[in-house]
């Protein structure tokens, strides 16, 4: 405690010194900026500013650590100095502690190709009472993850049985293993284990990275698992369905079940081909029986039309995220015409090309789209560059607040140029497109892209420019022969100054903010309170 007291006494002095140093750095930066316009002073300004920025960044992190430590110390100060054995804590309290630890832990990868090690394996090394707590709390057994990275192949059956028994009557979440790692006997045993618990399955995830090794394996696993839908109890409790990566080896048609699914909130179908993919009528039927959906992702589906006639209207009043990718226009058109979304703010993620642009435009004009993610490899697929194809009319998208461009380190110049050409073409009335957020997801901004982006910003009434996983400057393989490269800090600061001069704010994020998919208002509010960095 004496060491802790000494640290507290010196902490305030250190924080005050750090703040004074930052103030001095900012003052020095202003002096250098006002020192003249000669080439020498510009070089001096760049060098000094680069060094100041490195100091500023380091001290911002230090101050953040200090604030975090202060919060921890405030908690510690309210705890008695008397040490209490962990054995004296009730099982319920230990259960909550371990639940938080499991939820916040990350898997550790060793340098050797060994299985991943998670918190369930680490906790016994810390607390000998772990198994007592584990067996007494059914909530620990509700997620049955049978992937090979989590459980050995020869323990597939035991793992499922233990989880099903110890979870008592709680709803369970089932993650089917990668089938290529398991043989037919294991799959048959797994489906037999599931039969008595059909009405408890809350979520089902069937996923395979490499496809199935045999048609028999597909038959044994998917038919019984999908049959879980047909039971009355399961229709009332199923909340999440994910079926992904079923390849052409699948040689029989699945019987996709009818609902209603009153609790189904997430439906994700990806990479389904041939007979493994539902027909358009089966897909429409499945969606129409799920009125509580808030997430609908349909990506790379080989939809086939096997029935003619009318389709039921798809009323989805709670939908928050609609993600449609690589679906042919003659399949997308009925979906776009049938979907009827309520007043909720919707995030639409779509690939734009010349085949489906009309269907997408009709869908967007009928919905309260607050966030739009544009994906497309070629500029002609995103915005109209030559007037020969219809382009997306952003001005007609009511309530659009956030525009996200996925550039992915390849097509930055083309896609941003496409946006510039679009804004120029629709600037005849002198009205600027208003956006709360323009987000660039995973790209590189060099001098050329930065110049184009400057012109884009001049045609927008923008509050926030958000750069996710974005790099600045030229990549190494594009360096000049003399070894010079673009100044990344200079490009970043030039872009930031432009945004600020237009009463906006530039924010850099390392990872895509999932919050924006469902809570756009809260995301924008959090941006306002975030420090620029």
Q: What is the CATH number of the domain that holds 231?
A: 3.80.10
> Of 303, 325, 344, which marks where a domain is finished?
344
Bridge-based pairing state of the strands 402-406 and 471-472: unpaired
Amino acid 339: pLDDT: 80
CA–CA distances in Å: residue 173 to residues 54, 195, 411, 482, 483:
47, 15, 39, 58, 55
For 12, the token pair is 């305030």
* pLDDT tens sequence across 302-355: 777 665 667 788 888 899 999 887 776 566 667 777 787 877 789 988 776 545
Q: 227 with 268, same domain?
A: yes
d(CA 84, CA 116): 33
For residue 247, the enclosing domain spans: 141-344
Tell me, yes or no, whether 487 lies in a domain.
Answer: no
Amino acid 497: pLDDT: 92
For 184, the token pair is 């037919």
* Regions of the chain where pLDDT drops below 50: 3, 37-40, 79-81, 104-117, 149-154, 179-182, 209-220, 232-233, 248-249, 354, 379-382, 384-389, 428, 481-484, 533
For 258, the token pair is 């009818």
For 385, the token pair is 């560059």
Domain count, the chain: 3
Amino acid 269: pLDDT: 87
Q: 120 with 207, same domain?
A: no
Q: 123 with 215, same domain?
A: no
Q: 338 with 428, same domain?
A: no
d(CA 77, CA 73): 6
The residues, ordered by sequence, that sit 6+ positions from 53 with a Cβ below 8 Å of its Cβ are 489
For 209, the token pair is 């990275």
Amino acid 114: pLDDT: 35
Q: 128 with 207, same domain?
A: no
Q: What angle do CA 32, 34, 36 make, to 5 degrees?
A: 95
Amino acid 12: pLDDT: 61
Bridge-based pairing state of the strands 172-175 and 402-406: unpaired
Amino acid 476: pLDDT: 55
Q: 180 with 315, same domain?
A: yes
How many C-beta atoms surround the C-beta of residue 209 within 10 A? 9
pTM of the model: 0.67
Amino acid 256: pLDDT: 73
Q: 162 with 277, same domain?
A: yes
Amino acid 7: pLDDT: 53
d(CA 357, CA 394): 12
For tokens 């059956």, the residue is 157
The residues, ordered by sequence, that sit 6+ positions from 32 with a Cβ below 8 Å of its Cβ are 41, 44, 45, 48, 49
Q: 308 with 220, same domain?
A: yes
Q: 129 with 191, same domain?
A: no
Q: 126 with 161, same domain?
A: no
SS (H, E, C) 247-275: CCCCCCCCCCCCCCCCCCCEEEEEEECHH
């Amino acid at each position: 405690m004496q060491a802790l007291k000494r640290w507290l006494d010196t902490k305030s002095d250190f924080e005050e010194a750090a703040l004074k140093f930052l103030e001095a750095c900012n003052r020095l930066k202003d002096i250098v900026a006002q020192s003249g316009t000669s080439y020498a002073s510009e070089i001096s300004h760049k060098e000094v500013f680069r060094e100041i920025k490195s100091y500023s960044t380091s001290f911002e992190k230090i101050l953040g650590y200090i604030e975090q430590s202060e919060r921890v110390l405030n908690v510690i100060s309210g705890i008695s100095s008397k040490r209490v054995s962990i054995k004296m804590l009730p099982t319920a309290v230990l259960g909550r502690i371990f639940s938080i630890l499991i939820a916040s832990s990350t898997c550790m990868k060793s340098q050797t190709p060994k299985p991943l090690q998670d918190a369930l394996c680490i906790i016994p090394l810390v607390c000998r009472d772990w198994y007592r707590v584990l067996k007494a709390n059914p909530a620990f057994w509700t997620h049955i993850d049978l992937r090979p990275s989590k459980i050995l192949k020869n323990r597939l059956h035991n793992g499922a049985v233990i989880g099903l028994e110890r979870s008592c009557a709680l709803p369970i979440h089932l993650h089917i293993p990668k089938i290529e790692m398991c043989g037919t006997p294991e799959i048959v045993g797994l489906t037999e284990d599931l039969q008595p618990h059909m009405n408890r399955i809350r979520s089902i995830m069937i996923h395979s990275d490499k496809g199935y090794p045999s048609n028999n394996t597909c038959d044994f696993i998917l038919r019984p698992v999908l049959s879980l839908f047909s039971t009355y109890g399961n229709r009332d409790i199923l909340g999440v369905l994910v079926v992904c990566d079923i390849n052409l080896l699948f040689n029989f048609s699945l019987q996709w079940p009818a609902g209603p699914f009153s609790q189904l909130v997430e439906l994700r179908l990806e990479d389904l081909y041939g007979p493994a993919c539902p027909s358009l009528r089966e897909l429409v039927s499945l969606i129409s029986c799920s009125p509580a959906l808030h997430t609908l992702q349909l990506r790379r589906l080989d939809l086939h039309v096997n029935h003619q006639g009318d389709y039921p209207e798809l009323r989805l009043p709670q939908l928050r995220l609609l993600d449609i990718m690589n679906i042919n226009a003659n399949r997308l058109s009925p979906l776009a015409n049938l979907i009827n979304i309520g007043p909720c703010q919707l995030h639409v993620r779509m690939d734009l090309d010349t085949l489906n642009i009309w269907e997408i435009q009709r869908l967007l004009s009928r919905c309260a789209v607050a966030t739009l993610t544009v994906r497309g490899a070629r500029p002609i697929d995103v915005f109209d560059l030559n007037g020969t194809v219809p382009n997306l009319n952003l001005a007609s998208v009511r309530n659009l607040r956030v525009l996200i461009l996925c550039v992915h380190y390849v097509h930055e110049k083309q896609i941003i140029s496409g946006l510039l050409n679009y804004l120029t073409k629709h600037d005849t009335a002198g009205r600027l497109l208003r956006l709360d957020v323009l987000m660039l997801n995973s790209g590189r901004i060099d001098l050329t892209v930065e110049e184009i982006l400057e012109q884009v910003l001049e045609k927008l009434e923008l509050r926030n420019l958000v750069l996710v996983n974005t790099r600045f400057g030229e990549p190494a393989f594009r360096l000049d022969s003399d070894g010079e490269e673009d100044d990344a800090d200079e490009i970043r600061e030039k872009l930031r100054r432009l945004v600020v001069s237009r009463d906006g704010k530039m924010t850099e994020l390392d990872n895509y903010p999932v919050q924006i998919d469902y809570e756009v208002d809260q995301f924008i509010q959090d941006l306002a309170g975030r420090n620029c960095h």
